[in-house]
Amino acid sequence: MSENDTTNDRSDRPLLEGHESEYGTRDSATAVAPAEGTFKRNLGAINAFAIVISIVIGSGVFTSPGSIDANVPSPGAALITWLAGGVLAWTGASTLAELGTAIPGEGGVQPYLKLIFGDIFGFLAAWTWIVAVMPATLAILSIVFVESIFSAAGVTDQAGNIEHKLLSVLILVMNAANGISTKASTRLNNFFVTTKFVTILAVVVAGIAVVIMGASNPKRDIGGRDWRTKPWFGFRDSVEPDGSIIEWGKLSEWEMLGHFSAALYGALWAYSGWDKAIYITAELSAPARQLPLAINTAVPTIIICFIAANAAYYVLLPWNVISTTDSVVVTAITRLLGPSFGIIAAILVCLVVAGSLLGNSFVASRMTIAAANQKWLPSFLAVVGRVGTKPPQNIEAGTSKGSASDAPLNALLLSTTFSAVYIMFGNFRALLTFNGLGEYSFFFLTVVGAIVLRFRQPDLDRPYKPLLIIPATFAIVSGFVVVRGAVFAPIQTIILFVLWIIGVGFYQTRRLWAKED
């Protein structure tokens, strides 16, 4: 029997059959996963840490502060919202780490949903990520990249122009960087991680410098003065981007809840990407040890960075300015140091967004590969190392025979095409809500599934097992996020349901074809 035949034979076995001795247990941090993976196991905890950092520290920390500030009554409440969003992201990431170290498989949440709820749920998760979530994410990042450039030039109200959309589509060419090889992608990703830390460090250092200078000379007019003259947790009127005023003391409890939930939604968007480490579990050399390590170091690091950066914004800017801008870091640096430094800040933000775009493109292609290997999508989408419709005839060490590259070119082309469509027909805020609905629908199902699996299979070897309250907390909050999003965004909800109906039809059609063959 050939190696390829062996792979095909294994694909028909139960997902958990015999994985304990191969995948990684409490007693063996160096064990490996089943041999049927598409890619080499040549990534470590540092690579996983860098990928999570690169994806999560993207546009959110620079674009979400304004919308969060507009929906909370005080700067202190805004910082608590950032903390709450980070802790919730951590609970979700910890639960996925439990599943990722217990259940082998490529493609993020799809193998877990397939095991727990059945094949159709695994397929719908993959389908949603491939045709909706990841393309929408890449489209959002491309739009933010272009808008950051125009914001530095003082143009802030032309986002819907066809010229802006075409430029955003052009930015997708950065996906080609993932078409070189996995090693080249991870090296470039490490560069972008450094850029992200440098950008946030610059903002924090600027804030500290203003605090020191303001403390030494209280009469000096530098940065924003509100941080030392107004209470951080006292109610203050919030200015909306359209100039309207929110008087917090006059709002009902229901209205307050609506605003707080909107603020939390913005924070969760900023932390979006916390789940991405599990997309490369099948490429980690020792996932049982490396995956929890990467998540439990990356997520706290991100929380600290986000809170520090936002505290600096409240020091650098007057508080009534923050809620009115979607490019707070450029606004802050321009006001503090002048237009020239504002342009430098815009360049750094663009590099940060580029890194997030690269990281998301990296994991988007892995989801497509995994779905094709499950025979949910056409087999040519599993081809690595070349563009073409003919599937590889032999696999050697995770790379198509005769190819010097392990890059998933067909999968990259698919995600780039979908992303371009979303850019041309969508806008930033609509895509943001659409993305959140798709993601959190399946995050909710996955975390609920993790809880169900604890009772259904209590003896399943779990190298990493957080307290039950952790997945329970995330399930409650993610369910709330989905319901709220569906109520307040009916158009995006309808589009998502239509995509699911199309997906079910596609799934059933492929099953019928498979039976006929």
Residues 231 and 221: their CA atoms lie apart, in Å, by 19
Name the token pair of 98. 């439990």
- What's the helix, strand, coil split of the chain in %, to 5? 70, 0, 25
Residue 164 and residue 146 in contact, taking contact as beta carbons nearer than 8 Å: yes
Cross-strand bridge partners of residue 395 = 400
Residues 431 and 373: their CA atoms lie apart, in Å, by 29
Q: Spell out where 203-287 has E strands.
A: 238-239, 245-246
Q: How many CB atoms lie within 10 A of CB 434?
A: 25
Q: How many CA atoms lie within 13 A of 45 on its CB side?
A: 16
Cross-strand bridge partners of residue 399 = 396
Tell how strand 395-396 and strand 245-246 pair up: unpaired
Backbone angles phi, psi at 407, to 5 degrees: -75, 135
Task: Give the length of the chain.
Answer: 517
Which domains, from first to last, does the chain contain? 39-516 (1.20.1740.10)
- Looking at this protein, which amino acid is placed at residue 362? F
Chain center to CA of 205: 27
Residue 426 and residue 38 in contact, taking contact as beta carbons nearer than 8 Å: no
Residues 6+ apart with CB under 8 A from 27: none
The single residue listed with the structure tokens 């910082």 is 79
Q: Coil, strand or helix: which one is 93?
A: helix
- Residue 140's nearest CA partner among 347, 431, 414 is 431
Residues 412 and 361: their CA atoms lie apart, in Å, by 7
Residues 11 and 375: their CA atoms lie apart, in Å, by 10
DSSP element (H, E) containing 399: strand 399-400
Give the CA angle between residues 183, 184, 186 to the nearest 5°: 65
Residues 6+ apart with CB under 8 A from 66: 241, 322, 323, 324, 325, 326, 328
Cross-strand bridge partners of residue 396 = 399
Q: What is the pLDDT along the chain (517 residues), one digit of tens a residue?
A: 333 443 344 333 333 333 333 333 333 333 333 434 555 676 777 877 877 787 788 778 887 888 888 889 999 999 999 999 999 999 998 998 888 888 866 667 888 898 899 999 999 999 999 999 989 988 888 887 887 777 666 665 555 677 778 877 877 766 666 556 556 666 666 677 777 788 888 889 989 998 888 888 777 777 778 888 889 998 887 776 666 788 888 888 878 877 888 788 788 878 887 887 776 676 777 777 788 888 889 899 999 999 999 999 999 988 888 887 767 888 888 888 888 888 888 888 888 787 778 777 877 887 888 888 888 888 888 777 666 665 544 444 444 444 455 667 788 888 888 989 998 888 877 887 888 889 889 999 999 999 999 999 999 888 889 999 999 999 998 898 888 878 878 898 999 999 999 999 999 998 888 776 5
Residue 510 and residue 375 in contact, taking contact as beta carbons nearer than 8 Å: yes
C-alpha dihedral (167, 170, 174, 179), degrees to nearest 10: 170
The single residue listed with the structure tokens 């070119």 is 409
- Residue 499's nearest CA partner among 115, 138, 112, 130 is 130
